[in-house]
Amino acid sequence: MSSNSPSNESTWTGYLHGRRVILGVSGSIAAYKAALLARALVARGADVTTVLTEAATRFIAPLTFEALTQNKAYTDADLWTGPGVLHVELARNADLVLIAPATQDLLARVAAGRANDLLSLVVAEFSGPVGLCPAMHTAMWESRATQDAVHRLQSFGYQVLAPDSGPLASGDEGSGRLPEMQVILDFAEGLLAPKDLAGLRVMVTAGPTREPIDPVRMLTNPSSGKMGFALAREAYLRGGSVNLILGPVHDQPPAFIEVKHVQTALDMADAVNRDIHETDVLLMCAAVVDFAPVNSTDTKIEKDGFDDVLRLKRNPDILSGVTAMEKRPFVVGFAAQTDLLLEKARKKMQKKHPDLLFANLVGRGRVFGRDVAAGLLLRPDGSHTEVTVRPKRAVARLILDEVKKGLK
């Protein structure tokens, strides 16, 4: 299946879902990581066919990839063995060619237009998106030859993922490491995603806020930030420029997204207001704590002297502040309710005036911290869509599809 619209929305996990990927592996020590990559691509629903260079087979066996992908893994030994023209068949039946790791020699060969082994033949024949993930020693990566090859590859329209810095197989430290798996997966998804949000400046707030009572105690909530991360990732992959304003969470945000870290609701309000006039869409996903202690002390409150009363003041409602602006961006609100979902969501819509509101049930292990969500998507005209349980990625896609419709 090569369509961007997966058949089953409720299991959709991203733009690799149902897509045919040729995973090219060349002969770097990082070739062993390609096995983990093959597995991760398959886990995201991709149909993976591996093509190994001769040098790659000295680091890792084709059989490893065959077992992980349930597809034949090809090497130069397969060239001209069958009735068809193998490189043409492989290229014709692929949606993406992803080469990880890509050695200096592989980069140089493809940049020079060489087609002297199966992998370079497939690239030469393929007209779809090509992503290359270089991995080599620092001096090789920084060499004039490699940098020239990278520029040339980019001029062909190929995407090159910059390697990470860190410990290398040689025992040295420096740039040249194959990036983390999640970074490569996002890179691959970015090559397949439609760029229908290009040019849009998207602000996402995510996670909880923390309202300090004293230096060791606080008011907060269990928001994990995962829904906000899904929205940020989705907007980025579709070409939006994303500004993520993030409360304290345990998980790491998507690596390629600019993040502003905040603690309290007041910090978050400041961060939102600072950039709001350069924002086209605000996705107000954060679980902002509604109240803050009137007096937050600099020293720990001792139990003995405490009168058991914590005085609270209301935090500003950030979303309502934005929707009251004369020139406002398109605003999506989120409502977490424990009961009477539609009724309370409608009231929230009338009170806060977002352009869309995603309401979901929380409590009793629902939503907070989980990878799936379900709920109701309300529009200002009173209509709503029920969103059945699905990965937060799929919820994010649906919300951004609605944003796009609303912006028209």
Residues with active-site annotation: 221
Spacing of C-alpha 205 from chain mean position: 15
Least CB distance to ligand C5P at residue 293 (A): 15
DSSP per residue, 13-55: -STTTT-EEEEEE-SSTTHHHHHHHHHHHHHTT-EEEEEE-TT
318 binds ligand C5P (CB under 6 A): yes
Query: Closer CB to ligand C5P, residue 15 or residue 330?
Result: 330
Structure tokens that stand for 288 in this block? 């902002």
315 binds ligand C5P (CB under 6 A): yes
Report the alpha-carbon distance of residue 59 to residue 56 in Å, rounded.
5
Element housing 407 (H / E)? helix 392-407
In the list 15, 65, 126, 334, the residue contacting ligand C5P (rule: CB under 6 A) is 334
Least CB distance to ligand C5P at residue 404 (A): 19
Q: What is the DSSP letter of 208?
A: B
In the list 333, 377, 395, 399, the residue contacting ligand C5P (rule: CB under 6 A) is 333
Structure tokens that stand for 192 in this block? 């397949």
Least CB distance to ligand C5P at residue 400 (A): 16
Structure tokens that stand for 119 in this block? 């992998």
- In 134-241, which ranges are continuous DSSP H helix? 138-142, 144-155, 181-192, 226-237
Query: Closer CB to ligand C5P, residue 114 or residue 366?
Result: 366
271 binds ligand C5P (CB under 6 A): no
In the list 86, 213, 335, 403, the residue contacting ligand C5P (rule: CB under 6 A) is 335
In the list 9, 76, 78, 317, the residue contacting ligand C5P (rule: CB under 6 A) is 317
Scanning residues 278 to 297, which ones bind ligand C5P (CB under 6 A)?
Answer: 284, 286, 288, 290
229 binds ligand C5P (CB under 6 A): no
Least CB distance to ligand C5P at residue 291 (A): 9
319 binds ligand C5P (CB under 6 A): yes
Query: Closer CB to ligand C5P, residue 256 or residue 291?
Result: 291
Least CB distance to ligand C5P at residue 197 (A): 20
Q: What is the DSSP letter of 408?
A: -
Handedness of CA 124, 126, 128, 134 (dihedral sign): negative
Which residues in 284-309 are b (16+ Cβ under 10 Å) and which e? Answer: bbbbbbeebbeeeeeeebeeeeeeee
Residues near ligand C5P (CB under 6 A): 265, 284, 286, 288, 290, 315, 317-319, 333-335, 348
